[in-house]
Structure 1
Amino acid sequence: MGKDRLPGGPSIFLLLLFLLPGDTSPTTEPQYMVLVPFLIHTNGPEKVCIQLTHLNESVTLSATLEYAGENRSLIADVVSEKDVFKCVPFTVPKSSSSSAAFLTVLVKGPTLEFRSRKSVLVKNSESLVFVQTDKPVYKPGQTVLFRIVSLDEDFRPLNEKFALVFIKDPQRNRVYQWREVELNGGLTQLSFPLTSEPIQGTYNVVVQKESGTNLEHSFSVEEYGKEGSHSCWGGGVGSRSNRLGF
């Protein structure tokens, strides 16, 4: 158990540090420490770590997360060692909205007992989604090449699925669409041909997430416009929007 590693990242903080009733000497008095993220993201790996020290008897250890009307057992164990450190992974399912949850830790033995209940914040995870076209301006008859990239909040590739991807012309007509688009390795590439006489102006690639959130990335179609040769990132989730050139 001593080989368990502390959870990393800036969202980790010391949630509980209490002395348990027992020996009066400050160096040998039973105590425990609990580490959890102060912000827990849904549908992603999280971890709770508990350390017990200077125990003088066997105890039962339990940790329960109360969230969305359910009690989720994270730890239920009997500890007989004097000093123990262990980390347990867990996940929290998505809810209709972000809300508070409560973590209850109970340490109980023949002569000692301690219970504490603290609140943590649970937030639905949101991916970072970007759309990239191979250039910002196209001429009639050319093929528009674009790709969709999805990353989690730690900027790792995310194999997300999108309910609908479609192209809007300058008159807001839907001229092309794809349904149930799945990403492989956090990426998918799509394309569609422009007609020889398309409506000129600004077009939009619209990506619709399964949650119903839409994001858009624009490009232009011009008969005699100057063609761009560089790619642009565009789009984001909610109010998050980025535009990066390379």
Structure 2
Amino acid sequence: TQVNLWLEYEQGGIVSNTAHVDCNGDEKTKLAELKINIERWKELKNNHKMSRPYLNLLAQIQVNGKSPERKSTKVLVLEKRGYIFIQTDQPIYNPTQKVKYRIFTLDHSFRPNNERIFISIYNADGNRILNSLRFERGGIYKDLFSIPSVAKMGTWKITAHYEYDQENTAEREFKVEQFVMPSFDVNILLEKKY
């Protein structure tokens, strides 16, 4: 028995690859992976103003010599492309210090995700001071930037999201404070004076 699977939009046609799965009577479950064509998906969303992103999962079943049978079911499409984790080397910085950060991009199986990401850095006023599009093989992006000497004190943040997936933005906050070393005195009093 052969089963062909694909995703399609009711008014817009096929939006994924077709997976071919051979089934025999011994196996109750088979796994197939379908990937949505991102360009086609964006085009459909823009043209049809979808309120809920549903697609039809179609299965065409071919049993030995019989005519193919089709079955379909609606599936909800979640646009989260994977996971992004942002790490800084410390939680609090002084003006003029360098902020070292790493961004880990993972797919849904927690494997490195080799997709382009947008990175932005915001100061304490909420103004974007850096914006870049990056691609890093291996799923780990490392960089650093210097905090200006006249920086506003407060909470800054680094944000990152996959290209075309701004709704699922990851962020990491850190503080910029003027740190002054505390001063203290140590007095030793003796019981007997010599």
Partner of residue 34, structure 2: 91
Contact 1:165 1:205 in 2 (8 A): yes
Per the normalisation by structure 1, the TM-score is 0.54
Contact 2:5 2:57 in 1 (8 A): no
Contact 1:106 1:115 in 2 (8 A): yes
Does 1:181 find its partner at 2:124?
Answer: no
Richer in strand (by share):
1
Q: Of residues 147, 150, 171 in structure 2, which corresponds to 1:216?
A: 171
Q: What are the superposed Cα offsets for residues 148-199 of structure 1, whole Å, 9 maximum, x if unpaired?
A: 111111111111211x32211111122223x221122110001101122311
Report the Cα distance in structure 1 between the residues aligned to 2:34 and 2:120, rounded to whole angstroms. Answer: 33
Q: Which runs of 5+ in 2 are unaligned?
A: 46-52, 182-194
Q: What are the superposed Cα offsets for residues 46-92 of structure 1, whole Å, 9 maximum, x if unpaired?
A: xxxxxx5xxxxxxxx56353523229654499xxxx9998x896532
Partner of residue 94, structure 2: 139
Matches within 5 A, 1:95-174: 95=41, 96=45, 97-109=53-65, 115-119=69-73, 121=75, 123=77, 124=79, 126-162=81-117, 164-174=118-128
Q: Root-mean-square deviation (CA), in Å?
A: 3.2
Report the Cα distance in structure 1 between the residues aligned to 2:4 and 2:80, rounded to whole angstroms. Answer: 23
Q: What are the superposed Cα offsets for residues 24-51 of structure 1, whole Å, 9 maximum, x if unpaired?
A: xxxxxxxxxxxxxxxxxxxxxxxxxxxx
Cα gap change, 1:148 to 1:225, in 2 (>3 Å):
farther
Compute the displacement of 1:101 (Å).
1.2
Per the normalisation by structure 2, the TM-score is 0.66
Report the Cα distance in structure 1 between the residues aligned to 2:121 and 2:21, rounded to whole angstroms. Answer: 52
Structure 1, 184-193 or 63-72: larger mean CA deviation: 63-72
Cα gap change, 1:173 to 1:118, in 2 (>3 Å):
closer
Structure 2 counterpart of 1:194, one-letter code:
I
Matches within 5 A, 1:63-82: 63-68=4-9, 69-70=13-14, 73-75=18-20
Richer in helix (by share):
2
Partner of residue 11, structure 1: none
Structure 2 counterpart of 1:119, one-letter code:
T
Cα gap change, 1:149 to 1:98, in 2 (>3 Å):
farther
Contact 1:74 1:88 in 2 (8 A): no
Contact 1:200 1:221 in 2 (8 A): yes
Structure 2 counterpart of 1:170, one-letter code:
A
Q: Which runs of 5+ in 1 are unaligned?
A: 1-51, 53-60, 227-246
Report the Cα distance in structure 2 between the residues aligned to 1:204 and 1:143, rounded to whole angstroms. Answer: 14
Report the Cα distance in structure 2 between the residues aligned to 1:217 and 1:75, rounded to whole angstroms. Answer: 42
Number of residue pairs aligned between Structure 1 and Structure 2: 158
Structure 2 counterpart of 1:151, one-letter code:
L
Percent identity over the alignment is 23
Cα gap change, 1:103 to 1:152, in 2 (>3 Å):
same
Structure 2 counterpart of 1:218, one-letter code:
E
Compute the displacement of 1:138 (Å).
0.3
